[in-house]
Structures are given as structure tokens and as C-alpha cells.
Amino acid sequence: MIAEAGLAALWLAAALALLQLGVALAGPRVGDVRSIAVPAAVAQGFLTLFAFAALIALFVRTDLSVQLVAANSHSLKPFIYRFSGAWGNHEGSMLLWVTVLAVAGAALALLERRLPAETIRATLGAQAALALGFFGFLLIASNPFARLYPAPAEGQGLNPLLQDPGLAFHPPTLYLGYVGLSVAFSLAVGALITRDVGPALARAMRPWVLGAWVLLTLGITAGSYWAYYELGWGGWWFWDPVENASLMPWLAATALLHSVNVLAARGGLRAWTIMLAVVAFSMSMVGTFLVRSGILTSVHSFAVDPRRGTFILGLLVLYVGGALALFAWRVGTVREGARFKLVSREGALVANNLLLSVILGTVFVGTLYPIFVEAVAGEKISVGPPYFNAVSGPIVLLLALLLFIGPLLNWRVDRRPNLRRVALPLGVALLALLATILSGASMSLLARLGLATAAGLAVASFLPLVGRSLRRAPLATWGMVISHLGVAVAIAGAACDTAFTRETLTAVRPGETAIVGPWTVRFVGVDPVAGPNWTAVEGHLRATRGDRSERFDPQSRAFSDPPTETSEAAIRTFADGQLYTVLGRQESDGRWQLRLWWKPFVTLIWLGGFLIALGGAVAMLGRLWREWRQRVRAREAWA
Amino acid sequence: MTASPKNQRLLLVAAAIVALIGATLLAMWGLSGKAAYFRTPQDIAAGRADIGQPLRLGGMVKAGSVQKQPDGVSIRFVVTDGPADVPVLFRGIVPDLFKERGGVVAEGRLQKGGVFVADNILAKHDERYMPPQMGNLQAEQKTRETVQK
């Protein structure tokens, strides 16, 4: 019954989306937008939440008469993975996608009160059109509630790589970010339809963009750390197409986040901001297409079904094509933005946007080029880290250098830019560069420049606070400072990882030792251990450095449903880095393979990602708080 | 740099176009030297692979071909796609899903003697994966049977 109720809720929600779209298209003739479209949007949010809860209930109870559960779950799975396993598969994750889309639509309908009624009507219409397409995809091509007769005695289990707490956190956060951008998309489309592109639109759009961007940043950071510890490869970013699929919307959203400020504060960059809002969500859909169409084979693509790919591609063409056509048609009616000088805050933000767009363009080309070549020439190629590092690395550093000066410039026109303050971070960067050269450490040029830039940026990020009362500085400024510091921290972590990581790969007998970086690691032996749905061989290592001695217990796990082996790395974080140990296989002569990494300051990468997101959250709270106070004050003045 | 709004818009458009062209040129430069071609053993047998160029070799691990080397961390095995075989040498811990008769992609370079030296091995995450040449239908069939069992 639960499955049928969930399916019915989805159909009902799809019907409501159709109604909402119809009301928007009918225009003012059917009366106030709030009387039909808003309740319809809110009801869709609740109905999809209900359907999603139904799917979780089916997974938690391991109802094997539901095909999806039988194919992806197992009654012996621990509770948390029966719960999060609901979205560890194609249909479930698409249901999560649609749920987030519908809930975002409901929140938009409920909360957005500043824009004129006609713009809200058009926006809700655009949101309904998006929802309708994805409801269709779910119901026609990926029904999560399909029954299976007769029900099997046991399910096939969840891919063990996904049996990790990361699954409970990473996909929902990422999807909230991906799909949160749909609101910016709908607002942009709505504003184009009603020819109402201005600072008010930017102020309405800003919290959504900020919120989506914060979640996207957190989701990407969490996914990166998950891949780092779960895959046991010691890497934190592989330029896998699926990772790029999440990076592209992030890059577009980062550009949008900055341009929307220019529109809100100065009324400039109108058409550009609209374009970015369209591009950002388009990138989310491109990502969904790449991951869900089965065009890529990876941990994220759960099934190969050409119908699905065609369906998503159709939606993609319809929405992106439609929005771009609307943009081309209406861009002439968008008023000219306010003008500004090259050396001004706006000028710096334009440069920021252009550089981010270049990175986005190169990542986009690199990700889609193999698919294009295969379709056109029938040739299979892969574009990997050598391409992406070489192409995007230098631009990232250029962008970081821009951060030295951009936040110090004034809006509109900076007659006398206070460039003396930039001397301090530049000096720090040069000193750091000199230090890396004098230390004699061998490292790549990019790593050297990365360390220098990070050192300078760490200082530069605080400069906007210099000479201000720290208490009076707006939260948005604090948010900017924290995020920019996060960029410095993340770059430092990435550069340290490239420059200083030491790796040892060896085969040892119990009692023998291996050396990695400053650590001496003694292999004590192995023991069998067992978990709820796996058995494992656990290695015992004793790592010593000076008088410090630590115990490591990496495991090699074997799961029975599905029959798979995974390695659980044992990792410990110290003040100056991480020691990362992986137990390999046993050789026929009794030796065990060990892979050891000493990774100085590698955790800065994720700390930086977290700081970037934290800054966004602080800025968003600051903006919302300020608006709320203004509204209260306006109401008091009225009374 | 005083520009009327109209000129300023043109300037911005020009800057955007320059950025777009720059990105494309940069991408083309990167792709020309750094893209790795995906080859199957049949391609290599037909001479469609340059010695010493970065390549991805895809196929199945031939049954009974995995040989461990004395250092304990190197292995030799054979990648096959049916008609053709390529010997591979790899130093490292093989991924968890690497097994005989399993799908595999080896990243590395082809040496003069015809041995492929891999610096990275990707066994497909999904245990249901088979190289496309070997027919996804087969894998799907198997999956369906298991579900219906």
C-alpha cells in the first residue's frame, strides 16, 4: 500500500504542476496568482515529500515486493544504509531531485513577496514547467515504486562503496544546491517574460543563489572527502566527469553570486546576471544528464537505459533551449545597466566573472569532448587530470590574485584606489615564493605559485576589515572575508598535497617495517573481524615518529550482498598532516601489501571548502537579517 | 575610460567574447596534448596506438592470466576483448573490484615490446559493468535474472 500511495502522490503532484502552469499561462484572467498557483506549489512540495518518505519507509522495512528495494537493498543492511540507500540508486536519487525541486518551488511560492504579482506568476509558471518535465521523467521512465511479482526472498544489497555515512549527507546536500538554482532560473525566466529585470529581482534572487551555493559547496567538499577516504586512492579530486558535473554548476553559481551583487547594489550587469542564472541551473541539468543518462560509467551511474538518457536530453534541450531563446528574444528590452569605470568594484567583479566563465568553459569542453568525439568520430578518448590541471590551475591562481585587490575597490568609480594596502599581501606572497625556493624542496611550479598565492591571499582576505569597526562591519562583509580566506586555505591544502606528499608501496611480513615521510610503520599482523553484513581482515600497524607512537587498523572488507571487496583505509590527522594507511592483499608467500601516504596539511583542502561555505552562510544570514529589520522598521513607520 | 552605457555594454560583450574564445583556445591547446585515447586490445593489435603516448586500455582481465611479481606489489596480467590480448604490467594495489574475467581500464603507456605499463587501474565500480564491446545486454540479462530469482 505504501508504494501505491507514494505513486499516487506523485501523479497528483504532477497534475498540480500542470494546473500551476496552466494558471500562469492563462494570465490575469483567472484572477490572483496567490489563490491557485501558490497553494498548488505548496501542495506539490508536501506531496513529493510524502512520496519520498514512502520510499524511505519501503527501504527501511526492506519491502522486497518493490523492484527498486529488491534490486538495491538487503534485510541485513544496517539501519542507516537501509535509510540512505533509498537514494543510493537511480530512481531514488531522481525522486530526491524532484522532491527538492518541488519543495524549492513551494518555498518560493510561500516566501517571495517583494516582486510584482505578474513576475511572481511568470516565475511560478517557469518553476511548474520545470517540475512537470521531471515528474514526467520520474513517472514514465524511472518509476521508483514499481512492484515485482513474485517478491524475491532477499534483496541484492547496496554497492558497499555506498555503505558509508557519506551517502546520508553528500547527495541530499548536493541536490539541494543543484536544484536550489532552479529558483534563480525561474526568477530569471519570469523577469524576462515580464521585462522586469532590475535590482529588485537581484535582491529576490540573492538569498536563493547564496543558499544553493552554500549547499553546493558543502556537498562538493563532503563528496571530495568521501572519495578521499573511501576509495583508498589517496586522491581528493579525480576530474571524473561526475565530479565535473557538480563543479560546473558551482562555477556558474559562484559567478552568479558575484554578479547578482552588482545588480542589487548598482543596477549593473543586468543581461549578464540573467544569463548566468540560466546557465547555472542549465549546468545542474547537464550534470543530471551526464550522471543519470548512463552515458558515463561510474559509481554514480546506476543503470544503463538509453530511454532515460533520451528523455533527460529532451528535457535539457527544451528547458535550456527555451530559456536561451527567450533570452535572445527579450535581451533587447533589458535596460542598460548603470555604468562604471574599469577600476572599480564592478570592474573587478566583471573580471572575476570572466575568469570563472573561462574555467567553466574549459571544464565543460573537457568533460563533453569525449562524448562528442565518440558520437562524431566513433573514437573513444578520455580527458583526465593532465588536461584539467594544466588548463584550470593557472586561471585559479589568476583569480586568487584578483582577490588581493577586488574587495578593496569602491563601487562605481575608484578615483584613488588605495593600492598601498595591496603591497602587504603581495610582499607576503613574494616572501613565501622566495621561501619555497630557498628551502630547496623540489616541487612543481604550480605548487610553488599556489603556496605563495595562498599565503598572500590569507593576508589579503582580511584587508577589507582593516580600518573598520569590527562590530559595525556588516555580516555580508564578514562572509566575504571568511569565504576568501577559505579559498586561500583550500589552495594551500591542494598545493601542500601536490608538493609534500610522500608515498610508500611495499609488501611486508609481520614484524617488518616501512618508512614513509617522518614515520616508521611496523606491521604487527592481521586479525579477522566481522561487521553486520561484512567480514574483514584487519591489519595492525604501529606508526612511530620521534617518541610518538600511533596504532592504525586498516581493513580489507568483503561484502556478500553484492559480493564485493572494499578497503577501509585507516587515517589519522595530526597537527601537520595526515597519515593514510591502506591494507592490500596477501601474497602467496605470506607478505601483505601496504600502501602508506604521509600527506602534510592535506586537511586544509576541506577546511577551506568548509570556510567558503561558512562565509556564504554568514553573508546570507546577514542579508536576511538586514531585510527583516528593514521590513519591521517600515511597518513601525507605517503604524 | 568614460563610456556611454551603450558602449560599455558593447565593451562587456566584447570582453565576454574574448573570454569565450580564450577558453576555447585554451581547451583546444590542452586537449591536443593531454587527452588519452581509449584503446581496446584489438585496436592495439591493429597498430592503432602510438608507443609511449598516454592511453587507456579497456577490456576484460583474461582468466588465469594474473601473475604476481616477486616484489609483492607488482602484477602482470592480460587484458582481452575476445580476439586480441595485451600483456599489462602494473605496480600498485589493484582496486577491490579487479578480478579475472572482470572489466578493467588500465591507464598507462604502451612500451616497445608490446607490453602495456599501467600507472593506474580502474576496475569499474559497478560489479555489473562489462566493456560495451562485450555486450551490455548480457550484463542486463544477468541482472534481471538475479532480481527475479
Nearest alpha-carbon partner for A403 in A359, A445, A349: A349
Instruction: For residue B98, give how far its alpha carbon lies from the nearest alpha carbon of chain A (Å).
Output: 9
pLDDT score, position A295: 65
What separation in angstroms does the CA of B21 have from each of A79, A130, A349, A432, A481? 52, 31, 20, 34, 32
Chain mean position to CA B99: 17
Chain A interface includes B14 (CB < 8 A): no
| Residue B1 binned pLDDT confidence (cut-offs 50, 70, 90) | very low
Q: Rounded to whole angstroms, how far apart are CA atoms A467 and A416?
A: 17
Mean pLDDT along residues A120-126: 92
Torsion angles phi and psi, residue A498, rounded to 5: -70, -40
Give, in degrees to the nearest 5, the angle at Cα A378 between A376 and A384: 90
**Looking at the predicted structure, is the pLDDT value of residue A539 above 70?**
yes
Q: How much is the pTM?
A: 0.89
pLDDT score, position A76: 79
Chain A interface includes B3 (CB < 8 A): yes
| Residue A294 binned pLDDT confidence (cut-offs 50, 70, 90) | low
| Mean pLDDT of all residues belonging to chain B | 76
Chain A interface includes B134 (CB < 8 A): no
Residues A168, A570, A602, B26, CA torsion sign: negative
CB atoms B93 and A156 under 8 Å:
no
Interfacial A residues in 354-373 facing B (CB < 8 Å): 354-355, 357-362, 365-366, 369-370
Cell 587484458 found at: B79
**Looking at the predicted structure, is the pLDDT value of residue A635 above 50?**
yes
Tally Cβ neighbours within 10 Å of residue B41. Answer: 26
Instruction: For residue A536, give how far its alpha carbon lies from the nearest alpha carbon of chain B (Å).
Output: 13
Report the range of poorest mean pLDDT among A119-123, A170-174, A308-312, A627-631: A308-312
Return all residues near A153 (Cβ < 8 A) that are at least 6 apart. A64
Chain B interface includes A165 (CB < 8 A): no
Which residues face B78 on adjacent strands? B87
What separation in angstroms does the CA of A188 have from each of A24, A42, A121, A175, A589? 15, 21, 12, 20, 66
The model's pLDDT over B33-66, given as tens digits with 9 standing for 90+, comes to 777 777 888 888 888 877 877 888 888 888 888 8
Chain B interface includes A381 (CB < 8 A): yes
pLDDT score, position A298: 43
Instruction: For residue B86, give how far its alpha carbon lies from the nearest alpha carbon of chain A (Å).
Output: 18
pLDDT score, position A116: 86
Nearest alpha-carbon partner for A139 in A31, A47, A220, A74: A47
**Looking at the predicted structure, is the pLDDT value of residue B136 above 50?**
no
For residue A447, give the C-alpha cell.
605548487
Percent helix, strand, coil in chain A, to 5, is: 65, 10, 20
Give, in degrees to the nearest 5, the angle at Cα A422 between B9 and A453: 90
For residue B41, give the C-alpha cell.
586490445
**Of the partner residues A71, A361, A507, the one whose CB lies closest to the CB of residue B24:** A361
Mean pLDDT along residues A185-213: 92
Q: Which helix H or strand E contains A597, and what residues bound it?
A: strand A592-599
**Of the partner residues A148, A358, A380, the one whose CB lies closest to the CB of residue B19:** A358
ipTM of the complex model: 0.74
Report the range of poorest mean pLDDT among A221-230, A375-384, B77-86: A375-384
Mean pLDDT along residues A31-57: 90
> In one letter, which amino acid is B115?
V
CB atoms A365 and B35 under 8 Å:
no
Interfacial B residues in 101-130 facing A (CB < 8 Å): 107, 124-127, 129
**Of the partner residues A299, A387, A591, the one whose CB lies closest to the CB of residue B35:** A387
Q: Are A7 and A66 in contact (CB under 8 A)?
A: no
**Looking at the predicted structure, is the pLDDT value of residue A522 above 60?**
yes
Instruction: For residue A472, give how far its alpha carbon lies from the nearest alpha carbon of chain B (Å).
Output: 34
CB atoms B140 and A304 under 8 Å:
yes
CB pairs under 8 A between A and B: 152
pLDDT score, position B4: 61
For residue A606, give the C-alpha cell.
576541506
Q: What is the DSSP string of A335-360?
A: PPPPP--SSSHHHHHHHHHHHHHHHH
Interfacial A residues in 98-137 facing B (CB < 8 Å): none
The model's pLDDT over A567-604, given as tens digits with 9 standing for 90+, comes to 889 999 999 999 999 998 887 788 898 999 999 999 99
Q: Rounded to whole angstroms, how far apart are CA atoms A316 and A283?
A: 10
Q: Rounded to whole angstroms, how far apart are CA atoms B59 and B55?
A: 13
The model's pLDDT over A297-353, given as tens digits with 9 standing for 90+, comes to 544 444 456 677 788 888 989 999 999 999 989 888 877 777 777 788 888 899 999
